[in-house]
Structure 1
Amino acid sequence: MLEHFLVMMIAILLGTKLAGHLCNRIGVPSVIGELLVGIILGPALLNIVQPTEIVQLFAQIGVILLMFLAGLESDLFQLKKYLKPSVLVAILGILFPMVLGSLVGHLFALPVVSSIFLGIVFSATSVSISVQVLREYNRLDSDEGSVILGAAVVDDIVVVLIVSVFSSIINMGSQLQFDFAFFWNLLGLKFLFFLVIYLFAKFLLQPVMRLASRVVAIESQAAMALVLCFAFAILSEKMGMSDVIGAFFIGLMMSTHPSQPKVQEKLDTIGYAFFIPIFFVSIGLNVEFSAFKEHFGMIVLLTLTGILSKLVGGYLGSRMSHLSKSASTIVGSGMVSRGEMALIIVQIGQAHHLVTGSVYSAIVVAIILTTLASPLLIKYSIEKLGKN
């Protein structure tokens, strides 16, 4: 058991670092190579690495760390400045995919409920892939980077609410009651989470980090940062949201703290040396080439509509907020990636028998193809912006 796990870790770490090197040499975002490593090493080809429970666990830690680091590197005041365009980009980036995704489901004769669910799946955005590419190009705290981060967080919250309502309707059917308990679970807990994180940042963050700095132990501040990262990831999960939202916001709250440079340096090493590469590889592990044979048309159409709907929604939202054409293209490109958020939602659909068998595999493949396309679109858009 241990030997097999260590072999998988060796393959992942060597594979991702070599792929990153090759991608940097040919001018392609390194995350593309890491995603392809998952496809090559996974069940689709070599079957050296399997999506076991422990690999998925380490991958989840990886994405939590990635989003915590994204918050840590962000400019809080910049994000506040671009709150309005972020909300507009998120809303349009949800509406377009929901409509087009549902139409694709209808076109391929899926039941009405399954078609609507398909639209919900492709309305999700995974900013973790975009964060990595923006970081490589030093644009994480740029105007467009701030809009992408803000819009992705709003997107996550809204889509989680939509999924919550949809799941409740499916589970309870005609017995669904729109009472206080329903609205508390739907909205009250989310509001309470943001109130708790605001109060913690205002009154407790400074004393907690000051106490950590006085502890005579190796890397006490970095360890405390990890404690806060994981604690707020758990809290956001308990309150009905994605754990990455909690990790991102506590990282954002810590971005103005004096310990930020030191904490970021230490957690960069922990994250990028081990956990984050496992996360990117884990996405590629879900590819099954058999789905191409049976549902090639659906995969192609879902991928194209998935890319265009987010690209157009993000672009229009940015232009309506007076961003330049080039910056708006970067924002649209940054919203294309579906990644782990869409994979989590489609698994919820599988549990409710909304998508089954080869249709499930086809949707997963389309999610991964949109995720692969996003870094390339961001790269092209950034290079185009640099020439203007």
Structure 2
Amino acid sequence: MELLLSLILIIIGTKLASHLCHRIGIPAVIGELLTGVILGPALLGLVLHTEVISLFAEIGVILLMFLAGLESDLDKLKKYLKPSVMVALFGILLPMVFLSGAAHLFDISWKEALFIGVIFSATSVSISVQVLKEYKRLDTAEGSVILGAAVVDDIAVVLIVSLFSAFLSMDSTSPNGIGLLWELLGTKILFFLGLFLFAKFILNPLLALVKKIVAVEVETAFALVLCFAFAILSEKVGMSDVIGAFFIGLLLSKHESKDKMEHNVSVISYSLFIPVFFVSIGLDIELSAFKEYALLIIVFTILATLTKLIGGYIGGRMTHLGKEQSLIIGAGMVSRGEMALIIVKMGENIGLVSPGHYSAIIVAVILTTLFSPLLIKFAVEKAEKKQLA
């Protein structure tokens, strides 16, 4: 009963908040994130971040990125591969340098300071995807660059975290040289090779076979099976589950049933799972962290926002994209969301993030995630004014 009550509050709260945001002209996702803050431990304490809520939230972000893949253009992603790599590179380099340096100035050890830099190098575009869809900018040059850069960023940051973990746990029996390289890279390469072979030889015959099955919404059901299966596979090889979900969605975007799959999955996702995901981020806010680590939170939030914004802008401009496009790209890369939260938790588990700094980092991550939709709104409106002029 407690779960059902939480879901009722989340669904009603997010829909009312979205309506209010539309009325006052700000991205609806802001209201959904703030619903988590209001309903959660920070204020009313009506909804707690339980294991079941976390599970619903995980399904929500997987479905959100699967839909992003379905709505994307594979040819555009290939076309904008170089800008995507450059944006990801600067989006990792700047936070690593500035956040690590700032952390060390607060008397945090270099080991923990470097890991804090890694945390804020992560990008989670699930929030950005929602805002870009709202402004009809997902299937554009800047939308393609943001999605491509996020995938490159995720893989790079996961590899860096894996290196940290490997070196910390290394002993005489640990792999080194080629063994370590295989552990870090081999399985990821095999995943993408397997994905390519699946798309080339298996996907279309499999979908043709599924079409012959007489059952209600069989194609949509099978699309969900593929989404969850590739999410599991990508997590098994040490990457984020959203990468697998995004890529299988991207492959299905070429199929004739794509529009039907997208509509049906959207109904399921936006009715329940995606609202729970957005609310779950707000549930992690702890007001007590502001009292003890106010200055640290402010510095981390400002630097985390600026380094991704500037990094994305530089990456875009260096690959000859326009100023307005590059600004949208930079704004779209600011959100840290669930990816950074996962890395913080991993850091705490392996002793790289001290319990005292854990809450401060969580709050800074959530604040940057809240700022991201507003920055995207500003950048999109600036681009639209330029087009009208």
Q: TM (normalized to structure 1)?
A: 0.98
Question: Where does residue 269 of structure 1 map in the other structure?
Answer: 267
Indicate if the aligned counterparts of 1:12 and 1:281 stay in contact, CA closer than 8 A: yes
Does 1:70 pair with 2:68?
yes
Residue in structure 2 matched with residue 126 of structure 1 by the alignment: 124
AA aligned opposite 2:367:
L
Change in 2 beyond 3 A, CA 1:372/1:174: farther
Q: Percent identity?
A: 62
Q: How many angstroms apart in 2 are the aligned matches of 1:21 and 1:210? A: 41
2:283 is matched with: 285
User: Any idea what SS the aligned residue of 2:120 has?
Assistant: helix
Among 9, 24, 47, the residue aligned to 2:7? 9
- The residue type equivalent to 2:112 in the other structure is S
Aligned to 2:337: 339
Choose the corresponding residue for 1:251, options 236, 249, 252: 249
2:377, 2:348 → 1: CA distance?
34
Q: Which residue in 1 is equivalent to 2:321?
A: 323
Q: What letter matches 1:62 in structure 2? A: G
- 1:139-150 alignment to 2 at 5 Å? 139-150=137-148
Distance 1:148 1:173 in 2: 39
User: Which of 23, 43, 68 is 2:21 aligned to?
Assistant: 23
In the alignment, the residues of structure 2 paired with residue 229 and residue 70 of structure 1 have an alpha-carbon distance, to the nearest angstrom, of: 12
Give runs of aligned pairs for residues 11-90 of structure 1, distance below 5 A: 11-90=9-88
| Amino acid of the structure 2 residue aligned with 1:94 | I
1:224 corresponds in structure 2 to: 222
Q: Which residue number in structure 1 is paired with residue 202 of structure 2?
A: 204
Which letter does structure 1 place at the counterpart of 2:314?
L
Alignment correspondent of 2:297: 299
1:51 aligns to what SS in structure 2?
Answer: coil
Question: Mind listing any 5+ residue stretches in structure 2 that lack a counterpart?
Answer: none
Partner of 2:91: 93
**TM norm structure 2:** 0.98
Alignment partner of 2:368 out of 357, 367, 370: 370
For 2:9 and 2:15, locate their aligned partners in 1 and report how far apart those are by CA, in whole Å.
Answer: 10
Matches within 5 A, 1:102-117: 102-117=100-115
Rounded to whole Å, the distance in 1 between the matches of 2:173 and 2:84 is 36
Aligned residue for 2:371, secondary structure, equals helix
- Partner deviation per Cα, 1:75-105 (whole Å, 9 max, x = no partner): 0000000000000000000000001110111
1:240 corresponds to 2:238: yes
What SS class does the counterpart of residue 327 from structure 1 fall into?
helix
Displacement of 1:358 in angstroms is: 3.2
Say which SS state the counterpart of residue 172 (structure 1) adopts: coil
Q: Is the 8 A contact 1:101 1:119 kept in 2?
A: yes
The code of the aligned residue for 1:320 comes to M
2: CA distance, partners of 1:288 / 1:170: 30
Among 163, 187, 193, the alignment partner of 1:195 is 193
Matches of 2:186 and 2:357, distance apart in 1: 35
Q: Which amino acid aligns with 1:202?
A: K
Query: Which portions of structure 1, spanning 4 or more consecutive aligned residues, are displaced by more than 2 angstroms?
Result: 173-181
Aligned-residue offset at 1:175: 7.0
Distance 1:73 1:176 in 2: 43
Shift of 1:201: 0.9
Q: Compute the displacement of 1:74 (Å).
A: 0.1
Cα distance in 1 for partners of 2:67, 2:14 equals 19
Deviation at 1:353, TM superposition (A): 2.0
Aligned to 1:164: 162
Question: Partner amino acid for 1:198?
Answer: F
Q: Match of 1:332, SS?
A: helix
1:365–1:174: structure 2 CA closer, same or farther, 3 Å change rule? Answer: farther
The residue type paired with residue 353 of structure 2 is: V
Q: State how far apart, in whole Å, the 1-side matches of 2:283 and 2:68 are.
A: 24
SS in 1 for 2:302: helix
The verdict on how the C-alpha distance between 1:175 and 1:97 changes in structure 2, with shifts beyond 3 A counting, is: farther
SS at match of 1:123: coil
Structure 2 letter corresponding to 1:328: S
Residue 163 of structure 1 aligns to a residue in which SS?
helix
* Count of aligned pairs between the two proteins: 386
Mark the CA change 1:126 to 1:376 in structure 2 (over 3 Å): closer, same or farther: same
Find the aligned partners of 2:190 and 2:174 in 1 and give their Cα distance: 24
Q: d(CA) in 1 for partners of 2:207 and 2:24?
A: 42
- Paired residues of 1:185 and 1:240 also in contact (CA < 8 A): no
Match of 2:133 among 125, 132, 135: 135
8 Å CA contact 1:85–1:318 kept in 2: the answer is yes
2:208 matches 1:213: no
Tell me if structure 2 keeps the 8 A contact 1:71–1:249: yes
2:149 pairs with 142, 151, 162, which one?
151
